[in-house]
Structure 1
Amino acid sequence: MLYLCGLVGFLLVLSAEANGNSTIACSETSECLGFDPICQAENYEARKIGSVKWVTTEETSYFMEMAAMRAFRRLYKYITGANSNGENIEMTSPVVVKMPIKQFWKMGVYQMSFLLPADHQANPPKPTDAKVYINTWPETKVYVRGYGGWMNSLSDKLNAESLMADLDATDAEYEKGFHYAAGYNSPMTMFNRHNEVWFVAKDDPECSSSEEMESLPFA
């Protein structure tokens, strides 16, 4: 069983390397998270995300996969009627998981969030599940590394560590106790998947050996 899990993980990492394509990141929902690009380095970029509301829940588990299944089900119920208005709310992209930095044998708290669509940003309906809540992000600047394939504990860990190494090499200041894993695709999408790792910048981001990017919304 351990051998099989390891083989599956290895194949998924190969898929991640083969299928990376940021141009199709936001293609499955009509609304996606907006941002202003700040700069682009060889292996990562920096973005500014404006203040925005999410619907959020948390799960404690040893592994992201187990926590994500339970958290996703709970949030999906919210957008399909488990809210104070009893209304269906449009799905958006990306689905974001706040990933704790921890040893793999220890439990961790995983926080999953769905972006609320524009017409629910000002006054979102209240969740009927006590474990679900509305979460407002302040303006946030993040360092981002994109990759393809399936997002799982192994692929996220490898890409997070790679981004950390790139940031540390440039003495970038960022939050090191956690990062965000962002997924842009339905579980039914088999190919050309896109995922991202985000680290929150502590200061104004800089991308070594890069030019400042034109400010455009992500849509």
Structure 2
Amino acid sequence: MVTAEARVGNASEAEFCFEAEQCLLFDLICETDDYQVRHYDSVKWVSTDEKSFFMEIAAIRAFRRLFNYISSGNKNGNKIEMTAPVVVKFEKKKRFWESCTYTMSFLLPAEFQKNPPQPTDSKVYIHETPDINVYVKSFGGWMTAFEEQKQSKALCGTLDSIGAKYEKEYHFAAGYNSPMTMFNRHNEVWFAVQGDPVCPPNGES
């Protein structure tokens, strides 16, 4: 059994997180037909930044770097199990033709949350996210730049229509599946809540 540490552990409460032994756990605050509001505790990640015009190119480079870290490319030589989700932070582009810095992060397993091994690659680093509430929209298929933009715009439209306050300078995309998985794929876009989250009255969806 995996003991939860900093809300990292067995994914029994998240039916879509079935490919990894350990997943990022959350508390569901409320949900509607269009989005969920979740609370995530503070957790540690291993991350890397990659600047590119194209998300797909940045993702390939960043993934290789992080995969090397968990495959013993760290100062302790530890082999670290893959977790879920893989999260990518998107900066807001000022102009559509500009390049963008994408930050990809692998969640560190429970046993490495307190004392993660340090990376050997100078482009890879450990960081900790604070407690956070996020608006979440889920979708299937593949995490392409086109689909991510479509889903994030749809969520923004929903949030704007209800007067929700959220972080607009960046957002996150989360993927839960191996590149080899062909069916039942699960992806999400997250926007950080500002102030109190907007939930349906009386828990109604």
- Hey, what's the Cα distance between the residues in 1 that align with 2:46 and 2:135? 23
1:206: how far off?
Answer: 1.9
CA contact (8 A) 2:30 2:203 kept: yes
Matches within 5 A, 1:1-219: 24-102=15-93, 103-209=95-201, 211=203
Q: Deviations over 1:29-75 (max 9, x none)?
A: 00000111101012100000000000000000001101000000000
2: CA distance, partners of 1:44 / 1:162:
10
How many residue pairs are counted as aligned between the two chains?
A: 191
Q: Which runs of 4+ in 1 moved over 6 A?
A: none
Is the Cα–Cα contact under 8 Å of residues 96 and 114 in structure 1 kept in the other structure? yes
Q: Which runs of 5+ in 1 are unaligned?
A: 1-22, 214-219
1:104 maps to amino acid: F
SS in 2 for 1:180: strand
- The structural deviation recorded for 1:203 is 1.4
CA contact (8 A) 2:32 2:204 kept: no
Shift of the 125–208 alpha-carbon distance from structure 1 to 2, 3 Å rule, reads: same
Q: TM-score, normalised by structure 1?
A: 0.84
Q: Structure 2, unaligned stretches of length 5 or more?
A: 1-13
User: Alpha carbon RMSD of aligned pairs, Å?
Assistant: 1.4
Range 100-109 or range 172-181, more displaced:
100-109
Check the 8 A contact 1:38/1:212 in 2, yes or no: no
| Aligned-pair identity (%) | 54
What is the Cα deviation at residue 200 of structure 1?
A: 0.4
CA distance in 2, matches of 1:212, 1:93: 29
